[in-house]
Amino acid sequence: MTKPRTCAALIACAVSVLLPFRAAPAGAAQLEEAARGSRSLRVVAYVAGWAMPAVIHGEKLTHINFAFARIGPDGRAELADSALEANLARLVALKQTNPQLKVIVSIGGWRADGFSDAARTAASRGVLADSAVDLARKHSLDGVDIDWEYPGQGVAGIRYRAEDRQNFTRLLQAVRHKLDLASATEGRSGGDRYTLTIASADREYFDHTEMDKLHVYLDWINIMSYDFFNSLTATTGHHAGLYPAALASPTDRNADASVKQHLAAGIPAGKLLLGVAFYGRGFAGVRSLNNGLNQPYQRYEADHPYAELAERLIGNPDFVRYWDERAKAPYLWNAESRTFITYDDPQSIAIKADYVRSNHLGGIMFWELGQDRDDELLDVIVKSLHR
């Protein structure tokens, strides 16, 4: 789902860990009422199948995207092992007490190979489409999410071809067709029909896809409006900034620019979900100018789940929190170690929720639920979207 990381567990087919899991008890009445008050605004949580949260408050969510299924050697979508299957079953069980909740399987992820081959011919597209439907039926799911990172690009070390651009559109058309047939056969209609979504990105993604054509096959698009600065960028910066930083260069990326690019392609605003990061990115050996913002660095330090930031670093006297009013983004700076950390927090997320409402977008997606601390960020999303 995200760009380069230091944690091997975030590769789609990493070792799966079966963790204790239980549905949340009844409560949080105000949040539940807000979450159910306007189903037109989606709250979509990616949940890592290898790191399941012990408690999931399904009443606060409209959709869960289970990460990840993979494309096997035979070109079929599959879950890597029985532990993933068991964890997926635990998510599906949440629907018994949360009838509004939909559970979707996400196929792909960072460094997930096989898409270029699967999309190459009509026959191979049919194999993947059929297997995606089979996967949804077998596990009582509500849809399929395609997270191809990235068509026509080898940045993740995967096989790619120039014709991925057109073949991606054809693949989505094939999957849409098979899902619609399955919906008709099973009598699923309206909000119960099988959904098809993708995880999109910004400029480079648009350069290698036909977003103006493929969106007609999708129910909505999860914009990965984060990872703008990462281990592959030359400087630090806001990895999830809503707007350009005060010292940003003309080429710097931000969430607002990404949304506008989608709109310019003719995609309806209601089909767009703004992505929010439940983790930060750290850079070490950063030049001290401007408290480390938009500065060169010596090495990428680490990814930091928000729960870790909240417990160890936010409020730590060694780390000073700064707020970029133009970008609407926080960051942490340790002057002694010259460590810079960019992240989303309750303040920036509340502003993003207001942005979603003001621009009539379809809701918020976030990566990923297990990185939150006691639903601190999720609660901000729910309250801010529905106030």
Active-site residues: which are they? 149
- What is the Cα–Cα distance from 28 to 327, expressed in whole angstroms? 32
**SS3 for 9?**
helix
**DSSP β-bridge partners for residue 272:** 221
- What is the Cα–Cα distance from 63 to 271, expressed in whole angstroms? 15
- What is the Cα–Cα distance from 11 to 304, expressed in whole angstroms? 16
**SS3 for 347?**
helix
Residue for token digits 């939909």?
102
With CA atoms as reference, report the closest residue to 99 among 195, 192, 34: 192
193 near 144, Cβ under 8 Å?
Answer: no
Tell me the one-letter amino acid at 319: F
- What is the Cα–Cα distance from 176 to 357, expressed in whole angstroms? 28
φ/ψ of 87, rounded to 5, equals -70, -35
End-to-end Cα distance, the chain: 29
List the structure tokens of 81.
């092992």
Residue for token digits 């601190």?
376
φ/ψ of 129, rounded to 5, equals -65, -45
φ/ψ of 224, rounded to 5, equals -80, 75
- What is the Cα–Cα distance from 181 to 306, expressed in whole angstroms? 41
With CA atoms as reference, report the closest residue to 363 among 49, 63, 58, 13: 63
Per DSSP, the residues of 200-254 read E-SHHHHHTS-HHHHGGG-SEEEE----SSSTTSSB---TT-SS--TT--TT---
Count Cβ atoms below 10 Å from residue 310 Cβ, excluding itself: 19
